[in-house]
Amino acid sequence: MNSKRRGKQTVALTRPPSIAGFASVVGKKEGEGPLAATFDQIGADDTFGETSWEKAESAMQRLALSAALEKAGKAASCLDYILAGDLLNQCIGTGFAVRGTDVPFFGLYGACSTMSESLSLAAMLLDGGFGTLTAAVTSSHFCSAERQYRTPLEYGGQRTPTAQWTVTGSGALILTAEGSGPYVTHVTTGKIVDKGIQDPANMGAAMAPAAYDTIRTHLSDTGRKPSFYDLIVTGDLGKLGHEIVLDFFHRDGVDLKNLVDCGVLIYDLEGQDVHCGGSGCGCSAVVLAGHLLQGMLQGRWKHILFCGTGALLSPTSTMQGESIPAICHAVAISTQV
Amino acid sequence: MNSKRRGKQTVALTRPPSIAGFASVVGKKEGEGPLAATFDQIGADDTFGETSWEKAESAMQRLALSAALEKAGKAASCLDYILAGDLLNQCIGTGFAVRGTDVPFFGLYGACSTMSESLSLAAMLLDGGFGTLTAAVTSSHFCSAERQYRTPLEYGGQRTPTAQWTVTGSGALILTAEGSGPYVTHVTTGKIVDKGIQDPANMGAAMAPAAYDTIRTHLSDTGRKPSFYDLIVTGDLGKLGHEIVLDFFHRDGVDLKNLVDCGVLIYDLEGQDVHCGGSGCGCSAVVLAGHLLQGMLQGRWKHILFCGTGALLSPTSTMQGESIPAICHAVAISTQV
């Protein structure tokens, strides 16, 4: 029965699902960054033809899902489940995107960890024999996030040096029960870690301990050495959070040379005025559904550990003096099984 | 591979998980209603000893989870997964409740359908062999919901006749891979249904078409007649939504005599000034983790179809003129398999 369990937090999938299609849709700023060539669609003005930023975010999800389905050669009507979420209150980015489909839907909330959470569950549902085709989708939008979490754009608030820039983007992955890979082989589900950081403009520091905890647990649960992976990719810790994770591992005597962060990769940190880097559900989603999976298909990387990171705070919890609970879910992806 | 699939939306679990423990914690008003005797804990003043309504909601989740674990005779440290969510922005009721545990966590957002969503996934993870012990938890709180979705309590806003009253309560279920029941036998995952209702004070009407769609699909997918179930229980349609679902089935020539609604059951609709009845994630959660499962253990009912219903709107989507996307997930529970 529990032949799949590895340690306390990891499962090894016995019939590793295949990532049959993936697509990324981003905004103008992301399209001017170093990963521009890896995105499927780049919006000209971040509205995607809609009349509000929230509706623009839903539009991005619809575009990403249909592009991923097309690349997988599948129709939406064949999907057994969509697993999706976003950062907006009541996850309306997702609710209004999925409304257009006619597919069974599980709504998720994992803050910026949602891409790895949706990928985890989408893979587990296939491995468990509950279907043959699932989709994992998520998004964020700079303009909808700014006015919801921080201040209206028109206010022109000053940003602190530890702040990150919410990525305008949506990534979608299509998983099949059988296929030619890349394959999802392991899922390490995170616990909530909260080390007392209270500054919502320093999410990298809040999330770094969760990333460290999950990566360390994954390596311990699977018996894999860090060097097994060509890349260990965190979600959106940004420059500061990335350095904190490296430091944690240094203290354990481990030099994690293959650790990279989607929030650092997606922008030119010097040239694009994004302070510590990118963040948001869409950040790790579009880097995975572009740069990373394309690199795997091109033979550049064989094994990747994808570690989405999320800060489970709200403006209300911050105003009530609470610290920031964080979580990180890791998903191991390999080109061969 | 797909021996579990029944039709497009239903899976039949091959090793039906057992509900080994359940508990409900409610506020003062719910403790004065007709189901008072079925709740495990009734708060004296809805604060649960906390300094904010949001923290009170987290406290209820912690109380419900620990009571359910105790009744199952299990320690939290044995849990393989917690699946949980709530109505608050960024699901902070859940995030701050789960923070205290040391358990892998999947955060969900299904609005008031979250109890059936969490129960669905908690059962599927066990049936899929990913663990042996999972928890499904959810909550809502009248005071945190009012100020977030509508107006501050102090404003004393007038309520329309179609309005429902958000239940202050949290329900938790503990599922085991093997046990003596009641068992989760089938999961019918809902699609988003939106028939154009735009009034956020008439959620029953918005959600009724989703409930009708999922119940009808479940019966068709499984080949079961409505009379197979002792009860078909919707989440929180309230009096009006309940009548709409009955009417939809009448048009199909079906008299759904065994249809009941948690939002109608939980309050004395005449005496407790709740207009159309109860709502909120906690509504169906505490009726399930009390009245319904106790009745099954007492031999009153053998087969129940539990159909959590959710309205996937936000105040922002309403202000932007959007209609209300709704969803309903059905879970079949039987005392024997």
Q: What is the pLDDT of residues B22-77, one digit of tens each?
A: 999 999 999 999 999 999 999 999 999 999 999 999 999 999 999 999 999 999 99
The whole-number average pLDDT for the span B224-239 is 98
Closest chain B residue to the Cα of A214, Cα to Cα: B104
Query: What residue segments make up the domains of chain A, in order of their start?
Result: 5-176, 183-334
Residue A267 corresponds to which tokens in the numbers above? 């922008």
> Does the distance separating the beta carbons of A129 and B124 come in below 8 Å?
no
> Does the distance separating the beta carbons of A117 and B106 come in below 8 Å?
yes
pLDDT at position A2 is 66
Rounded to the nearest 5 degrees, what angle is found at the Cα of B171, between the Cα atoms of B165 and B172? 165
> Does the distance separating the beta carbons of B325 and A96 come in below 8 Å?
yes
Q: What is the pLDDT of residues A261-272, one digit of tens each?
A: 999 999 999 999
pLDDT at A1 over 60: no
Q: What is the pLDDT of residues A43-59, one digit of tens each?
A: 999 999 999 999 999 99
The whole-number average pLDDT for the span B299-320 is 98
Closest chain A residue to the Cα of B90, Cα to Cα: A314
> Does the distance separating the beta carbons of B108 and A106 come in below 8 Å?
yes
Dump the DSSP string for B94-125.
HHHHHTTS-S-EEEB--GGGHHHHHHHHHHHH
- Mutate one of B2, B90, B137, B213 to test the A interface: name it (highest A CB count within 10 A): B90
Q: What is the pLDDT of residues A201-231, one digit of tens each?
A: 999 999 999 999 999 999 999 999 999 999 9
Distance from CA of B263 to the nearest CA of A (A): 21
Q: What is the pLDDT of residues B72-100, one digit of tens each?
A: 999 999 999 999 999 999 999 999 999 98
- Mutate one of A130, A143, A186 to test the B interface: name it (highest B CB count within 10 A): A130
pLDDT at position A250 is 98
Task: Tell me whether domains A5-176 and A183-334 share a fold.
Answer: yes
Closest chain A residue to the Cα of B194, Cα to Cα: A99
> Does the distance separating the beta carbons of B125 and A313 come in below 8 Å?
no
Q: What is the pLDDT of residues B254-268, one digit of tens each?
A: 999 999 999 999 999
Residue A3 corresponds to which tokens in the numbers above? 């032949």
Closest chain B residue to the Cα of A145, Cα to Cα: B90
pLDDT band at A156 (very low <50, low <70, confident <90, very high): confident
Kindly list the residues from chain A whose CB atom is less than 8 angstroms away from the CB atom of residue B191.
101-105
Rg over alpha carbons for chain A, rounded to the nearest Å, is: 18
> Does the distance separating the beta carbons of A325 and B129 come in below 8 Å?
no
Is the Cα dihedral A139, A140, A143, A148 positive or negative?
A: positive
> Does the distance separating the beta carbons of B95 and A312 come in below 8 Å?
yes
Q: Provide the 3-class DSSP secondary structure of residue A286.
A: helix
pLDDT band at A254 (very low <50, low <70, confident <90, very high): very high
Is A5-176 assigned to CATH 3.90.320.10? no
B25 - beta bridge partners? B41, B170
pLDDT at position A143 is 96
Is the Cα dihedral B63, B64, B70, B71 positive or negative?
A: positive
DSSP at A135 = E
pLDDT at position B123 is 98
Kindly list the residues from chain B whose CB atom is less than 8 angstroms away from the CB atom of residue A124.
125, 128, 130
Kindly list the residues from chain B whose CB atom is less than 8 angstroms away from the CB atom of residue A108.
106-109
Residue B322 corresponds to which tokens in the numbers above? 């959007």
The whole-number average pLDDT for the span A226-249 is 98
Dump the DSSP string for B269-316.
TTTTT-TT-EESHHHHHHHIIIIIHHHHHTTS-SEEEEEEEEE---HH
Contact yes or no for A133/A80 (Cβ under 8 A): yes
Contact yes or no for B72/A87 (Cβ under 8 A): no
Residue B161 corresponds to which tokens in the numbers above? 């006749």
> Does the distance separating the beta carbons of B313 and A89 come in below 8 Å?
no
- Cα(B249)–Cα(A65) distance, rounded to whole angstroms? 34
Strands B278-279 and B165-166: parallel
Kindly list the residues from chain A whose CB atom is less than 8 angstroms away from the CB atom of residue B51.
320
Distance from CA of A288 to the nearest CA of B (A): 20
pLDDT at position B157 is 87
Taking Cα atoms as reference points, which of A312, A296, A232 lies closest to residue A22? A296
pLDDT at A102 over 80: yes
pLDDT at A87 over 90: yes
pLDDT band at A18 (very low <50, low <70, confident <90, very high): very high
Distance from CA of B76 to the nearest CA of A (A): 13
pLDDT averaged over every residue in chain B:
97
pLDDT at position B3 is 85
pLDDT at position A100 is 85
Beta-carbon count within 10 A of A52 CB: 17
The whole-number average pLDDT for the span B111-120 is 98
pLDDT at position B307 is 98
DSSP at A242 = H
pLDDT at position B2 is 67
Distance from CA of A300 to the nearest CA of B (A): 31
Q: What is the largest CA-CA distance in chain A?
A: 56
Alpha carbon B258 to its chain's center: 18
- Cα(A154)–Cα(B295) distance, rounded to whole angstroms? 56
Distance from CA of B324 to the nearest CA of A (A): 9
> Does the distance separating the beta carbons of B130 and A124 come in below 8 Å?
yes
Closest chain A residue to the Cα of B87, Cα to Cα: A90
Distance from CA of B127 to the nearest CA of A (A): 7
Kindly list the residues from chain A whose CB atom is less than 8 angstroms away from the CB atom of residue B1.
129, 132, 177
> Does the distance separating the beta carbons of A3 and B106 come in below 8 Å?
no
Beta-carbon count within 10 A of A78 CB: 14
pLDDT averaged over every residue in chain A:
97
Amino acid present at B85 = G
* Distances in whole angstroms, Cα of residue B183 to Cα of each of B14, B119, B171, B300: 11, 11, 17, 15
Amino acid present at A55 = K
Distance from CA of A248 to the nearest CA of B (A): 20
Contact yes or no for B321/B288 (Cβ under 8 A): no
Residues 6+ apart with CB under 8 A from A255: A249
> Does the distance separating the beta carbons of B103 and A108 come in below 8 Å?
no
With a pLDDT cut of 70, the percent of chain B lying above it is: 99
- Cα(A212)–Cα(A218) distance, rounded to whole angstroms? 10
Architecture of domain A183-334 in CATH?
3-Layer(aba) Sandwich (3.40)
> Does the distance separating the beta carbons of A192 and B312 come in below 8 Å?
no
Query: Nearest by CB to A192, which of B89, B98, B177?
Result: B98
> Does the distance separating the beta carbons of A314 and B89 come in below 8 Å?
yes
Q: What is the pLDDT of residues B274-289, one digit of tens each?
A: 999 999 999 999 999 9
Residue A111 corresponds to which tokens in the numbers above? 């803050």
> Does the distance separating the beta carbons of A109 and B314 come in below 8 Å?
no
With a pLDDT cut of 70, the percent of chain A lying above it is: 99
Dump the DSSP string for A89-100.
GGGHHHHHHHTT
Closest chain A residue to the Cα of B117, Cα to Cα: A106
Distance from CA of B75 to the nearest CA of A (A): 14
pLDDT at position A233 is 98
Distance from CA of A189 to the nearest CA of B (A): 5
Helix axes A203-222, A238-251, angle to 10 degrees: 40
The whole-number average pLDDT for the span A141-170 is 94
pLDDT at position A3 is 85
The whole-number average pLDDT for the span B140-158 is 93
Kindly list the residues from chain B whose CB atom is less than 8 angstroms away from the CB atom of residue A52.
320
- Cα(A205)–Cα(B277) distance, rounded to whole angstroms? 44
Contact yes or no for B110/B310 (Cβ under 8 A): yes
